[in-house]
Chain A
Amino acid sequence: GENVEQHPSTLSVQEGDSAVIKCTYSDSASNYFPWYKQELGKGPQLIIDIRSNVGEKKDQRIAVTLNKTAKHFSLHITETQPEDSAVYFCAARTGNQFYFGTGTSLTVIP
């Protein structure tokens, strides 16, 4: 099955700086890559996604890039704010299943 690896596991940045989270996947059949933000005690919230026929997608301060050849995709958050502090998960969809990374705990220091 698919194997999704995510790095780093923890990330601290100063408010206003950028944060980058990277994921790799193993199954070339994966065709859809969502990113989720999870706050303590809550379910994952979809924040952005990218499909395999797209290389980059941006939504305000959040962007995602995908390199199909290398099988990796990244989340970029610019101008970070304290409310961006949460755990972020990448995922890859293969067939009907979503496979998740192990998460990145992001702390934005005011």
Chain B
Amino acid sequence: DTGVSQDPRHKITKRGQNVTFRCDPISEHNRLYWYRQTLGQGPEFLTYFQNEAQLEKSRLLSDRFSAERPKGSFSTLEIQRTEQGDSAMYLCASSRDSRALNTEAFFGQGTRLTVV
């Protein structure tokens, strides 16, 4: 499978616990995005990496959220002290950069987080 891979697919956690999600992008893609999607809504941008550099962060990304992409390949998204409002589908996408001919963004299957 050469698509975007996310792990785990589902996570149930107690309020106040920390969780970490992983995303493996398509190998030749140097851009990686994190989005959050709640029921009945479209994906909302959280943050974006160009290689290992985190270039943009949404106001939605509170200080409890941190994302890394240390070697410019896989990325992790950590949520500290989870709250019930963090319950959502967390989606990762990857694309080539804007200088490439094809800059389509491809999404993973998402990680469904439930905070109880």
Binding site for B on A (CB under 8 A): 4, 6, 32, 34, 36, 41-46, 49, 89, 91, 96-103
Within 8 A of A (CB), among B86-115: 91, 93, 98, 103-110, 112
Q: Complex: how many Å from CA A73 to CA B32? A: 26
Q: B42: which A residues are within 8 A, CB to CB? A: 4, 6, 89, 91, 100-103
> What is the interface of chain B mostly: helix, strand, loop, or mixed?
strand
Q: Of A32, A36, A42, which is within 8 A of B103 by CB?
A: A32
Instruction: Quote the shortest CB–CB distance from B22 to chain A (angstroms).
Output: 15
Q: Complex: how many Å from CA A100 to CA B98? A: 19
Q: Can you offer 20 A-B residue contacts whose CB atoms are under 8 A?
A: A6-B42, A34-B105, A41-B112, A42-B109, A42-B110, A43-B4, A43-B6, A43-B91, A43-B108, A43-B109, A44-B43, A46-B104, A96-B50, A96-B55, A97-B56, A98-B33, A98-B35, A98-B43, A100-B42, A100-B44
Instruction: Quote the shortest CB–CB distance from A1 to chain B (angstroms).
Output: 9
Q: A46: which B residues are within 8 A, CB to CB? A: 104-107
